[in-house]
Structure 1
Amino acid sequence: MDPKSNNLNDFLEESVLLDESQYQQGFEDGYKDGLVSGKEEGRDVGLSAGFQVGEELGFYQGCIHVWNSVMQIDPDAFTSRVRKNIAQLKTLVDGFPFMEPENENVQELMENIRLKFRVVCANLRVRLEYEGQFSTLSKDAEDM
């Protein structure tokens, strides 16, 4: 065997091994960084989404409190149908699984709450809707 070709093979093999080890090291570093940044981003997204859900549920809870206060002052202010729908809305809002972040029914529950809220508003013949903090802020900025 020619000693020059053996040296060339050794050189190429070392280059390939060096390339593979650098690739593997880069992959491991990137994976570790991705875990850290993924957790941070996930926490930020979760905090934002949780705040928005809480804000919306707070809006509905506030409306329920106002309507219940009206009923305490004047029990005949609303029809029995409206009172029943308000009670159902309260049950839905009170039953929201705040402490179960991985509950798969959260979207369906929110849709049921929104639907029941629209039913109450339609029965009361009022136009109320939750607009959210961000859309309210953008409307205020346009007015200025």
Structure 2
Amino acid sequence: MAGQQGAEDLFDSILFADERFRGEGYQEGFQRGTKRGLHNGWRHGASHGANLSSEISFYYGFAISWKCLLEHQSDDRSRKRLRALEALLNLTQKFPLDDPQSVKLQEDTEKLRAKFRQVCSMLNVPTDFKDYIRTAEGTSF
């Protein structure tokens, strides 16, 4: 009996080897996939966060520069432009940079972009943020 039991155990281990290896392979693949997914997600989030931060910093610098240029003007048109610039500055300073999971992040971003387009329209300057970056990248010192 003992010899027959040993043969059955050997037969069972051969028979179930495929299933066991498939399960082990699945677990190993799942672990590697999870690790790679987390890494790719982190990289993607860091990239988008850097782009958004760069955009907001640009709006802030843009508004400060124009404010300095217009603050000594006293005509009505300049005062309206200054109020719009102040509103843009206010939006950049209140932007939730420290909370990337804010439910209002998309809404706040759209408000900021809309205010930037409004200010650019008032100042008669191009509204595409990328146009300013392209110009800056083409400059060599």
TM-score (structure 1 length as normaliser): 0.75
* Match of residue 50 from structure 2: 51
* Match of residue 102 from structure 1: 101
The answer (yes or no) to whether the contact 1:52–1:132 under 8 Å persists in 2 is: no
CA RMSD of aligned residues (A): 2.9
* Match of residue 136 from structure 1: 134
**Structure 2: gaps spanning 5 or more residues:** 1-6
Number of equivalent positions: 132
Q: CA 1:132–1:110 in structure 2 vs 1: closer, same or farther (change >3 Å)?
A: farther
CA distance in 2, matches of 1:57, 1:132: 15
CA deviation digits over 1:94-143, x for unaligned, max 9?
1111110111221221111111111111122222420079x839x95xxx
* Match of residue 82 from structure 1: 81
CA distance in 1, matches of 2:108, 2:15: 56
**Structure 1: gaps spanning 5 or more residues:** 1-6
Residue identity over aligned pairs, in percent, reads 25
User: Which residues of 2 match residues 18-37 of structure 1 at below 5 A?
Assistant: 18-37=17-36
CA deviation digits over 1:16-58, x for unaligned, max 9?
4212211111111111112221121112111110111011111
Shift of 1:60: 0.6
Shift of 1:84: 2.1
